[in-house]
Homo-oligomer: A and B are copies of this chain.
Amino acid sequence: MEFTVKQIAGLLGGEVEGNETLKISQLSKIEEGKPGAISFLSNTKYEPFLYTTDASAVIVDRRFEPKKVVKTTLIRVENAYTAFTLLLQQYEQFIKKEKYGIEQPSYVGEGTSIGENFYLGAFACVGKNCRIGQNVKIYPQAYVGDNVQIGDNSVIHMGVKIYNNTVIGSHCIFFANAVIGSDGFGFAPQSDGSYQAIPQLGNVVIEDHVSVGAGTTIDCATMGSTIIRQGVKIDNLVQVAHNVEIGKNTVIAAQAGIAGSAKIGENCVIGGQAGFAGHINLPNRTKVGGQAGVSGKWRQAGLSLHGSPAMEIKDSLRSSAIFRRLPLLEKRVQALENLKQEEKP
């Protein structure tokens, strides 16, 4: 791939400040820029690199005013971050080689219908009576059980295991070794102290535009469905238990865990390693900090929760600040007690 600065500026609707004939062949971070690379400046923390970078061109916000002499060529756009993301997407389209066809050996069960442009990798299995949409890609060593539906343009990576009866929308992506639909963790205690497994007869329903990270596990419902709504993005090694429902456009960072029957609202942002008690109801637009432990009742939308047990962020920060100086606080109490002691006749 090689374009001139002028061509790229045209693509982005930007204005060139410098040499528009320079040739660009790669994208890079501003601190790693080399001749032939184009970079961007959005976070002002990285501004010092603008004056030293060897990148041939840098995309900046239209209103950006340099504080020093800039040697590199600038492309001014409305929003440098958005423009660079667009460039990344264009580049990805350019280099992406779509896979097609059915590699052998692989397995497709009876009664399964498959759309156009299907890719099935070697050593992958698709069960019976599945409905597979258009442009679906199933990579090597993946497993799709019986009666599974997969919508158009969804992609299933290597080693992903999808249990029977799972329903997957369109434009979804599952990264390597994710597991969808394994049994919920439900056991009935017996009088002798042992446990008997409660049959888990439900399934998992995943709507459109959902992303599921590597190694993440989503359990099937006991009855009914574990539901992941449209646009949800789940990172790696996340646990989603049986009968959970995750609302539209919620984002969940790595290693978070959501216990059974919890209902997570829409447009929530959940930090890494956060944990949610079973049956909890998390309102829409809640932000949850990393390692937070959320239980109890929360009714107001849009709160930020921190800590374990989780509190509103301002309360959590205040209490944590005093926790840091607890030894001092105890000394102050001790000093008051000593004074009191001295005062005694």
Contact = CB atoms under 8 A, between A and B. Distances in A.
Contacts of A156: none
Contacts of A28: 223-224
A7 interface: no
Contacts of A337: 332, 336
A152 to B, nearest CB: 17
A161 B161 contact: no
A198 B327 CA distance: 42
How many identical subunits does the complex contain? 3
Given A95-B201, A215-B217, 10 more contacts: A88-B198, A92-B201, A103-B107, A105-B122, A121-B125, A159-B177, A237-B239, A272-B275, A309-B320, A318-B326
Interface of A: 27-29, 32, 81-82, 85, 88-89, 91-92, 95, 103, 105, 107, 121-123, 125, 139-141, 143, 157-159, 161, 163, 173, 175-177, 179, 182-183, 185, 187-188, 193-199, 201, 209, 211, 213-215, 217, 219, 222-224, 231, 233, 235-237, 239, 241, 248-249, 251, 253-255, 257, 259, 266-267, 272-273, 275, 277, 290-291, 293, 295, 308-309, 311, 315, 318-320, 322-327, 329-330, 332-333, 336-337, 339-340
